[in-house]
Structure 1
Amino acid sequence: MLRYLLLLAASAAGLFAQDLARMAAVADAQAAGGHFMGSVLVARDGKILFEKSYGSANVEWAIPNDATTKYRIGSVTKQFTAAAFLLLEERGVLKLDDPVSKYLPDAPAAWEKITLFHLLTHTSGLPNFTNQAGYADWKRKPATPAESIAQIRALPLEFAPGEKWAYSNTGYIVLGYILEKVTGDSYVHFLTENLFRPLGLAESGVDSNDAIVPHRAAGYVGGPGNLANAPYIDMHVPHAAGALYSTTHDLMRWAEGVYGGKLLSPAALKKMTTAYKNDYALGVNVKESNGRKRFEHGGGIEGFNSDLAYYPDAKLTVVVLANLATPRAGEFASQLAAVALGDPVTLPSERAETRVAEEILRTYVGTYQLAPKFAIWVRLADGQLTAQASGQTRLPLYPETESKFFYKQVDAQIEFTKGADGRVDGLILHQNGRSPKAPRVSDTVPERKPIDVPRSVKEACVGVYELKPGFDLTITLEGDQLVSQATGQGKAPIYPETETRFFPTVVDATIEFVKDGQGAVTSLILHQGPADIPGRKK
């Protein structure tokens, strides 16, 4: 009977039974093998089309996730902060063009030209405090916004305000401080009275490590076979940048309320949803996906991932909340939206592999520049084409046609393109409803060459290095081969470029060993992608 009613509701909302079954198949595929734990919801114009939960809210007690489970939503918090500032501007309390120094009279001189608008749009130039050395220790201690600001105020700006875009949690910490200062209210109370209650969000709040929160999920890291409790973070630290918890139903109410014009004036809503730089507006990404406008933001915080997307033309809301820290939330949300919007979704298991001659595969080898500091390297070895993005793992590509290839580990495809001369000139990465192009900048791939170093150099590197609480990088010497292994992961041999810098071949990264004045190795720095992660030797 429940199934019958669910299908009726779906049909009434413009979704046929076969579409509902397809949505369930897509969701089940994402969660297969325990790679996703959490809850998902798809709604159109206030009517729930599909919802389902997977895994456990608490693994130790085998308590399942369901629609009432409360998850930390990480940076999805930012759109709530942005809406709060737009409300304050409407009420004449402040203006988004106001300089930060108006509310922080002792702000560093370098901050003089930073405005509230710059903070909201990640164009302030303030360095991201979560990327700073020592953050792994800092996040474990309670800190007010003022104390967090004090930690970064002496750091130089990364660029002149308004000149570029760079994601910065710091800006939203400053915003949280200013909100409390101008309102004389706490962040949690202001949001409760001015955002949550007006829109009927009864199951959302600012998380606290001390409070008893019914139906709150525990966060986990790892995966099948190596699941572990997430590292600790004091929830005072993320504040207005990422401290909220919510449910799928509350986030549906939020999206339909704020983007449906029930909270802000038309002018304020337009300001919130107009992209400034890098497709980022005020606390939300604004992008085109298959010709449709989408307001979207993801979130990640220890043990949790989230994604909230709203398609204004279709009045479609997609919510994905996970209490297992994997990068699947955004991909999951895009697939569910595609089914609801009538677009095809082909799962990796449904793609048929064909055979392509090795001489054709060889023409695809090279370096493709997706962004100024982000490349994709395509290699060929023993007849197998692989692709490796900056800071990521090398993964095999499987041919679907002569020019289009797919991954089996993630839902993504690479399509190679040719110029007028018939030569391969680029690739298109199809992933999460987006298809960015990457021109081919070289027909070769830079390969790192190991050197010989004395065994004593390798022996000095052996040890356990703490990258963050609960997550170590262990270095061992097996025979004459130095081997690295991160918590919950497999072993990876590493090779010397110098006596202090080593690299693995399975992932684009560098491990730099740091010595003290006496020449003893005391720590390391893991350079991977944009991150430089220090780890002290235990």
Structure 2
Amino acid sequence: MKSMKSVVPHLSFCVFLLCGNCLAAPPSPEALDACMRGWADQNLFSGTVLAAQDGQVLLHNAYGMADYNAPIANTCDTRFRIGSLTKGFTALAVLQLEEQGRLRTSDRLATVMPDYPHADTITLDMLLNHRSGIVDHTTLPDFQTVRRTSPCALARTIETFQSLPLDFTPGTQFKYSNSNYILLGHIIESVTRKPYADVIQRQILEPLGMHGTGFEYYRRPIPNMALDHTLENGSIRRAQDRVMQNAHASGALYSTAHDLYLWDRAFRTGRLVKEKMRQKILSCDAEYRYGWATTEMFDRKILAHSGETEGFCSTIIRFVDDDACLIVLSNLEGCSMGRIIQSLSALLFDRPYQLPKKAPTGPQASADYGAYVGRYQIKPGFFIDVTTQDGQLYRQATGQSRLQLHPESKDTFFVTEADARITFEYGGEGQVARLVLHQGNRDFPGDRL
């Protein structure tokens, strides 16, 4: 189960190694497409990709299937759940209301929700920037058992967390919480006296001609919508269902790569908000401001956000000073979104990159694999279980899917679904004593229990 907590988690762990056979290619459509086919041809990506630089679209292609059972191929018009990318639209709507004089981001929550606990100490800015201390409602037990798969009114969602203690004193820390944007959705509706979806439609989608974007209502069919899938051990199947309407202003929108590019261009040109509001995002060095994470890639400042929900993942990257944009939408949960974004970015800026390793096609079964079986502790509460089945070797980390380990060399294995390798090491008695997880140019040792 996913809780749409993603900001840019993939990128911070994706540092690519230089190697002799990993030469950078120029940012041509052919090179970008070849990069993506390196992922799609191994069933490691399904979705649409748009890459643009200096106002020119370099690549806008679709890969994989919208429905693997039918089968129906993805096209550039296919619509995808974008999860937490919704937060950027919500934040923009709030800034528009501030421009209209209908609220101020410096207002206390008490001005619009006077009965909310701690309303006198929490500002709208704190909600927008995840500095309120309010508990993330998607971490509560009833979310997994009830609210993930059954419709839940916005007011009821707020009731699940409003009386809980704060995680910290408002304004003192950053902690990502979907509850912040649930409250912002309620505030937008209270101030405008219109449904959130109608406000987004009228203030953002219609002015920009974003006809492939909208709010996902429960059991309301959406034309050209991709179905949710998940990748596990090289096989693709349907993912768990989820009622996205419940995510509301924190994650209920769907879109296309083309529409999100229209949104990117509007942000750069100041079409939807005046320069003063645009600078509230651009001029701040905080790690998260108004629906965007601020970080760097290849020594370039970027605004970015990712979204993950059952069967879908999405990322948009804005290179602030280079007028470049990458949009990747996928209906394949488990795809290596961070590595894909890194590879495409490397092509844009003439840097080295790596394509995914191919799993061996011949027999891999080995009687020696039994020596690796066991539980390994990476840190308290986080384990990697190594098992065998039908002569193959598998690993399953805490809270993650089981993935097959493919032999790279003696005692070293890799997975095709992630930028990760595992090396097994021996103790004094000649028995496997620990493993080392190699990921993101870092090593994480774990003793065998």
Change (3 A) 1:397 1:258: farther
> Following the alignment from structure 1 to structure 2, what is the Cα–Cα distance between the partners of residues 259 and 122?
24
Change (3 A) 1:255 1:265: same
Aligned residues: 382
Contact 1:73 / 1:242 at 8 angstroms: preserved in 2?
yes
Equivalent in the alignment of 2:215: 206
1:54 and 2:63 correspond? yes
Question: What is the RMSD computed on CA atoms of the aligned residues?
Answer: 3.4
Tell me the CA shift for residue 91 of structure 1: 1.3
Equivalent in the alignment of 1:340: 348
Alignment map for 1:218-367 (pairs within 5 Å): 218-223=227-232, 226-275=235-284, 277=286, 279-349=287-357
Alignment map for 1:430-445 (pairs within 5 Å): 431=440, 445=446
1:72 and 2:81 correspond? yes
Deviations 1:134-177 (A, max 9, x none): 21212222222211101111211111111111111111000000
Contact 2:39 / 2:356 at 8 angstroms: preserved in 1?
no
> Following the alignment from structure 1 to structure 2, what is the Cα–Cα distance between the partners of residues 88 and 249?
26
Equivalent in the alignment of 1:83: 92
Equivalent in the alignment of 2:167: 158
1:185 aligned residue (182, 194, 198): 194
Change (3 A) 1:310 1:183: same
Tell me the amino acid that sits aligned with residue 287 of structure 1.
T
> Following the alignment from structure 1 to structure 2, what is the Cα–Cα distance between the partners of residues 169 and 397?
40
1:123 and 2:131 correspond? yes
> Following the alignment from structure 1 to structure 2, what is the Cα–Cα distance between the partners of residues 314 and 129?
37
Contact 2:113 / 2:119 at 8 angstroms: preserved in 1?
no
Tell me the CA shift for residue 398 of structure 1: 6.9
Tell me the amino acid that sits aligned with residue 58 of structure 1.
D
Change (3 A) 1:328 1:412: closer
Contact 2:84 / 2:250 at 8 angstroms: preserved in 1?
yes
> Following the alignment from structure 2 to structure 1, what is the Cα–Cα distance between the partners of residues 210 and 230?
28
2:142 aligned residue (134, 147, 162): 134
> Following the alignment from structure 1 to structure 2, what is the Cα–Cα distance between the partners of residues 430 and 256?
35
Tell me the amino acid that sits aligned with residue 416 of structure 2.
Q
Structure 1 segments unaligned to the other structure (5+ residues) = 1-14, 351-366, 378-386, 400-404, 415-426, 449-538
> Following the alignment from structure 2 to structure 1, what is the Cα–Cα distance between the partners of residues 27 and 246?
45
Contact 1:286 / 1:293 at 8 angstroms: preserved in 2?
yes
Equivalent in the alignment of 2:364: none
1:23 and 2:45 correspond? no
> Following the alignment from structure 1 to structure 2, what is the Cα–Cα distance between the partners of residues 229 and 143?
24
Equivalent in the alignment of 1:216: 225
Equivalent in the alignment of 2:5: none
SS in 2 for 1:134: helix
Say which one has the larger Rg.
Answer: 1
> Following the alignment from structure 1 to structure 2, what is the Cα–Cα distance between the partners of residues 230 and 244?
18
Equivalent in the alignment of 2:371: none
Deviations 1:25-79 (A, max 9, x none): 2211222322221111111233210122122112232111010000010001100
1:409 and 2:409 correspond? no
TM-score by length of 1: 0.64
Equivalent in the alignment of 2:49: 40
1:169 aligned residue (152, 175, 178): 178
Equivalent in the alignment of 2:107: 98
Equivalent in the alignment of 1:146: 155
Equivalent in the alignment of 2:387: none
Tell me the amino acid that sits aligned with residue 39 of structure 1.
T
Structure 2 segments unaligned to the other structure (5+ residues) = 1-23, 359-376, 385-394, 422-435
Contact 2:26 / 2:347 at 8 angstroms: preserved in 1?
no
Tell me the CA shift for residue 348 of structure 1: 4.4
> Following the alignment from structure 1 to structure 2, what is the Cα–Cα distance between the partners of residues 254 and 208?
22
Alignment map for 1:498-517 (pairs within 5 Å): none
> Following the alignment from structure 2 to structure 1, what is the Cα–Cα distance between the partners of residues 110 and 205?
30
Equivalent in the alignment of 1:466: none
> Following the alignment from structure 2 to structure 1, what is the Cα–Cα distance between the partners of residues 307 and 184?
18
Change (3 A) 1:184 1:169: same
Higher relative contact order (CA 8 A, sep 6+): 2
Tell me the amino acid that sits aligned with residue 75 of structure 1.
S
Name whichever of 198-207 and 208-217 sits farther off.
208-217
Deviations 1:75-131 (A, max 9, x none): 0110010111111111111111111122112112x3431111111111111111111
> Following the alignment from structure 2 to structure 1, what is the Cα–Cα distance between the partners of residues 190 and 77?
34
Tell me the CA shift for residue 410 of structure 1: 5.6
Alignment map for 1:362-511 (pairs within 5 Å): 409=416, 412=419, 431=440, 445=446, 447-448=448-449
> Following the alignment from structure 2 to structure 1, what is the Cα–Cα distance between the partners of residues 242 and 96?
30
